[in-house]
Amino acid sequence: MNSAKAEEYLRKIKEGQVPSHVAVIMDGNGRWAKKRGLPRIAGHKAGLHTLREIINCADEIGIKIMTFFAFSTENWKRPPLEVRFLMSLPEEYLQKDLPALMEKNAVVKVIGNYNRLPRRTLNAVSHALQATRDNTGLIVIFALNYGGRAEILEAVRNIAAKVARGELTPDQIDEQLLADHLYTGGIPDPDLLIRPSGELRLSNFLLWQMAYTELWFTETLWPDFKREHFLEAILEYQKRDRRFGGIKK
Ligand code: V0D
């Protein structure tokens, strides 16, 4: 799949600066399936193909960090069978793609409260974290059982505990310290958020981290989202960046 449009975008992108960190909300899988008269899980499976294509493309153009919203703390409210199916996807994905990720020298990371996940899912994820921890290429972060407010709360609790133990004083609590206590401690904030499927919200994703992030939305559903959509988003980001270059953070 190498459309002329994608090649044209690629050429233009190479003239500018590629964002270091791109965050993506993989949204619209259920709607994609419904439109085709398929079960929602067929949409999630199709979304897995898009995930592969976008990781390959990000690696090719030299993006350093990709963060994908895979499962939110609110997603537990979905039908139990759908949740079960979703929980099988990390294992399915990693079984098939871990060798390719190793070949790319990619690092897999997970953010979120993932101790609530089924054992098999946890095992597959832990194995990938271990296997890729010393790699030095593209960092692929999956937000799993993630909620932005919960993340900030947990950080605040941990900081408060340090104050209570006398390890910190309140005046030592600044933005940097709070950022260091988030799941993303040590990872630079996203430069660009991509949200497909026509929803125009953050939905509790990386709230603290996206204070200065450029937002890019498209009506395209995640399973229909291709390399050329991704490149279009990057190109648009570069244009904005150029326009506001002097006064950006
Ligand atoms: C479903 C489309 C990869 C969006 C992509 C449990 C919805 C496929 C992972 C994954 C999901 C997670 C952790 C990890 C490696 C891979 C994933 C979920 C859903 C929720 F270490 N795709 N994916 N996780 N979908």
How much is the mean pLDDT over the chain? Answer: 95
| Residue 5 covered by a domain | no
* 60 Cβ contact partners less than 8 Å away, ≥ 6 residues apart: none
Q: Is the model's pLDDT at 6 over the cut of 60? A: yes
Using pLDDT thresholds of 50, 70 and 90, give the confidence band for residue 243.
low
Using pLDDT thresholds of 50, 70 and 90, give the confidence band for residue 246.
low
Question: 143: domain range?
Answer: 20-238
Q: Is the model's pLDDT at 34 over the cut of 90? A: yes
Using pLDDT thresholds of 50, 70 and 90, give the confidence band for residue 184.
very high
- Give the residue, out of 27, 83, 93, with the most ligand 1 atoms within 8 A of its beta carbon, to mutate for a pocket test: 93
pLDDT digits (tens, 9 = 90+) for 73-83: 999 999 999 99
pLDDT at 1: 46
Ligand 1 lined by 54 (C-beta under 6 Å) = no
* Mean pLDDT score, 120-135: 98
| Residue 2 covered by a domain | no
| Residue 215 covered by a domain | yes
Q: Is the model's pLDDT at 210 over the cut of 60? A: yes
| Residue 12 covered by a domain | no
| Residue 11 covered by a domain | no
* 182 Cβ contact partners less than 8 Å away, ≥ 6 residues apart: 151, 152, 155, 208, 209
| Residue 248 covered by a domain | no
Number of domains in the chain: 1
Does the annotation mark 134 as catalytic?
Answer: no
Percent of the chain residues topping a pLDDT of 90: 93
Does the annotation mark 145 as catalytic?
Answer: no
* Mean pLDDT score, 133-138: 98
Strands laid side by side in the 21-25 sheet: 107-111, 139-146, 65-72, 21-25, 192-195, 214-217
Q: How far is the CA of 11 from the centre of ligand 1 (A)?
A: 31
More confident residue, 245 or 53: 53
* Mean pLDDT score, 67-72: 97
Ligand 1 lined by 24 (C-beta under 6 Å) = no
DSSP for the chain reads ---HHHHHHHHHHTTSPPPSEEEEE---HHHHHHHTT--HHHHHHHHHHHHHHHHHHHHHHT--EEEEEEEEGGGGGS-HHHHHHHHHHHHHHHHHHHHHHHHTT-EEEEES-GGGS-HHHHHHHHHHHHHHTT--S-EEEEEEEE-HHHHHHHHHHHHHHHHHTTS--GGG--HHHHHHTSTTTTSPPPSEEEE-TT----TTSSTTTTTT-EEEE-SS-GGG--HHHHHHHHHHHHHHHHHTTTT--
pLDDT at 247: 55
Q: How far is the CA of 243 from the centre of ligand 1 (A)?
A: 35
Q: Is the model's pLDDT at 212 over the cut of 50? A: yes
* Mean pLDDT score, 86-113: 98
Backbone angles phi, psi at 34, to 5 degrees: -55, -45
pLDDT at 241: 64
* Mean pLDDT score, 136-160: 98
* Mean pLDDT score, 105-123: 94
Q: Is the model's pLDDT at 13 over the cut of 90? A: yes
Ligand 1 lined by 111 (C-beta under 6 Å) = no
Q: Which of 27, 59, 97, 189 is catalytic?
A: 27
Question: Which CATH number goes with the domain that contains 108?
Answer: 3.40.1180.10
Length of the chain: 249
Nearest residue (CA) to ligand 1, atom 2:
47
Indicate if the alpha-carbon torsion angle 49, 41, 101, 233 is positive or negative.
positive
pTM: 0.96
Ligand 1 lined by 125 (C-beta under 6 Å) = yes
* Mean pLDDT score, 174-189: 98
| Residue 1 covered by a domain | no
* 66 Cβ contact partners less than 8 Å away, ≥ 6 residues apart: 21, 22, 23, 24, 54, 55, 58, 138, 139, 140, 141
pLDDT at 91: 97
* 68 Cβ contact partners less than 8 Å away, ≥ 6 residues apart: 23, 24, 26, 51, 140, 141, 142, 143
Q: Is the model's pLDDT at 248 over the cut of 60? A: no
| Residue 107 covered by a domain | yes
Using pLDDT thresholds of 50, 70 and 90, give the confidence band for residue 115.
confident
* Mean pLDDT score, 17-43: 98
